[in-house]
């Protein structure tokens, strides 16, 4: 297998040597000086099939060019009150680093309402988080731990997940499609914690549809998952929703600010970085308001089948509980 993998990397590398501008420049933004690691990520995502991995990467590069992704970190969401609102309704934050050096991100899946701004703003914010991770957070982690770090860990809190909140399903599938097709293999493990019955019911039918590679990445933990998570990260890196079980703490930083908050150091650093990048751009006049309009990639067949299965299962679940929620009512229109 090792020899076959090296041959695949060699073939893929030869194909990428043929790139012309502007594809060549945007590829440099993607690999950040580690082209081999990027090729391996795309090969893994396509089961080491070189033609499929090459098509996936070319689609990604063209998507970046068509949507101005290389300059997304110079396009702040303004005014700052709007950005604060997005942080309050799309709950994500950096809580620390694992024992191996991977950044640990917390996601409040169940309590994210995604209902205070347009789809475009949420997509823009998510892409900015991805790009900041790849250009700033991962290089910083590599320097701190003295080795190359290319992946992160994600702790997904399902607290509050319920049928009445399923209007987020389209938005979450949009974000997933962006990540799967343009940022593959950037997450080493997804830890699912505080999972209610509605999640368990869906997971039971979705799990058989996943590729083995994907299944290995997803760990559904008991309760808050604190004991299991402490095997891979120190207590200080635990998200707040994993600390409560034993400590009663609800904060992720020494200054007592929740990791999701706009006021948390991570989000302040991110937002200030974007504003500074905007000032460095060659333009005249104030920073313009308005969101980026990004073309959302079409989910692949596996993901489309998974979303269809989730909807079907939730139809059954809502019917069995005598609830009147209708997917015709709660679906969100696309951008």
Query: For the chain, how long is the longest CA-to-CA vector?
Result: 59
With respect to residue 287, please indicate whether it lies within any of the assigned structural domains: no
State the CATH number of the domain containing residue 193. Answer: 3.40.525.10
- Low-confidence stretches of the chain (pLDDT < 50) are 246-250, 253-255, 284, 322-335
Give the pLDDT score at 210: 78
User: Are residues 86 and 230 both part of a single domain?
Assistant: yes
User: Are residues 134 and 218 both part of a single domain?
Assistant: yes
CA distance 214 to 305: 15
User: Are residues 33 and 126 both part of a single domain?
Assistant: no
Residue 105 forms beta bridges with which residues? Answer: 94, 154
Phi/psi of residue 95, nearest 5 degrees: -105, -10
CA distance 255 to 243: 16
Q: Is the pTM of this model over 0.85?
A: yes
Q: What domain count does the chain have?
A: 2
Contacts of 131 by beta carbon, 8 Å cutoff, 6+ apart: 69, 72, 73
With respect to residue 294, please indicate whether it lies within any of the assigned structural domains: no
124: its two tokens: 């823009």
User: Are residues 160 and 261 both part of a single domain?
Assistant: yes
198-231: per-residue pLDDT in tens? Answer: 787 778 877 887 778 888 999 999 999 999 999 9
Give the pLDDT score at 161: 80
Residue 192 forms beta bridges with which residues? Answer: 156, 220
The domain boundary, picked from 12, 31, 66, lies at: 66
Closest listed residue to residue 115, CA positions, set 175, 164, 168: 168
User: Are residues 12 and 151 both part of a single domain?
Assistant: no
State the CATH number of the domain containing residue 61. Answer: 1.10.8
Give the pLDDT score at 100: 97
Closest listed residue to residue 172, CA positions, set 303, 301, 43, 272: 303
Give the pLDDT score at 329: 29
With respect to residue 144, please indicate whether it lies within any of the assigned structural domains: yes
With respect to residue 37, please indicate whether it lies within any of the assigned structural domains: yes
Cβ contact 199:158 at 8 Å:
yes
User: Are residues 148 and 43 both part of a single domain?
Assistant: no
User: Are residues 53 and 171 both part of a single domain?
Assistant: no
With respect to residue 311, please indicate whether it lies within any of the assigned structural domains: no
User: Are residues 86 and 32 both part of a single domain?
Assistant: no
To which residue do tokens 């600390």 refer?
A: 243
User: Are residues 9 and 146 both part of a single domain?
Assistant: no
Question: Structural domain of residue 199, as residue ranges?
Answer: 76-244+256-270
Give the pLDDT score at 207: 80
User: Are residues 12 and 156 both part of a single domain?
Assistant: no
């Amino acid at each position: 297998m090792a020899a076959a993998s090296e041959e695949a990397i060699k073939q893929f590398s030869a194909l990428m040597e043929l790139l012309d501008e502007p594809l060549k420049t945007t590829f440099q933004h993607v690999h950040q000086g580690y082209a081999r690691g990027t090729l391996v990520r795309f090969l893994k995502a396509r089961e080491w099939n070189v033609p499929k991995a090459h098509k996936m990467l070319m689609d990604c590069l063209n998507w970046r060019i068509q949507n101005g992704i290389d300059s997304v970190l110079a396009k702040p969401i303004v005014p700052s009150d709007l950005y604060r609102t997005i942080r309050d309704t799309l709950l994500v934050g950096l809580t620390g680093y694992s024992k191996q050096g991977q950044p640990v991100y917390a996601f409040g899946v169940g309590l994210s309402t995604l209902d205070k701004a347009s789809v475009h703003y949420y997509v823009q914010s998510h892409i900015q988080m991805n790009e900041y991770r790849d250009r700033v957070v991962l290089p910083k982690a590599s320097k701190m731990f003295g080795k190359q770090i290319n992946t992160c860990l994600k702790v997904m809190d399902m607290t509050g997940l319920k049928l009445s909140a399923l209007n987020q399903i389209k938005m979450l599938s949009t974000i997933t499609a962006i990540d799967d097709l343009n940022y593959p293999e950037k997450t080493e493990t997804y830890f699912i914690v505080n999972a209610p019955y509605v999640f368990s019911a869906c997971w039971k039918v979705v799990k058989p549809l996943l590729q083995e590679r994907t299944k290995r990445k997803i760990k559904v933990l008991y309760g808050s998952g604190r004991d299991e998570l402490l095997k891979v990260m120190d207590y200080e890196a635990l998200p707040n929703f994993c600390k409560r079980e034993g400590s009663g703490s609800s904060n992720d930083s020494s200054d007592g600010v929740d990791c999701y908050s706009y006021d948390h150091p991570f989000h302040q650093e991110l937002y200030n970085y974007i504003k500074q990048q905007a000032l460095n751009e060659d333009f005249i006049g104030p920073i313009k308001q308005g969101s980026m309009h990004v073309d959302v990639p079409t989910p692949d067949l596996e993901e489309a089948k998974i979303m269809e299965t989730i909807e079907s299962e939730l139809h059954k679940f809502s019917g069995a509980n005598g609830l009147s929620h209708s997917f015709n009512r709660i679906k969100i229109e696309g951008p």
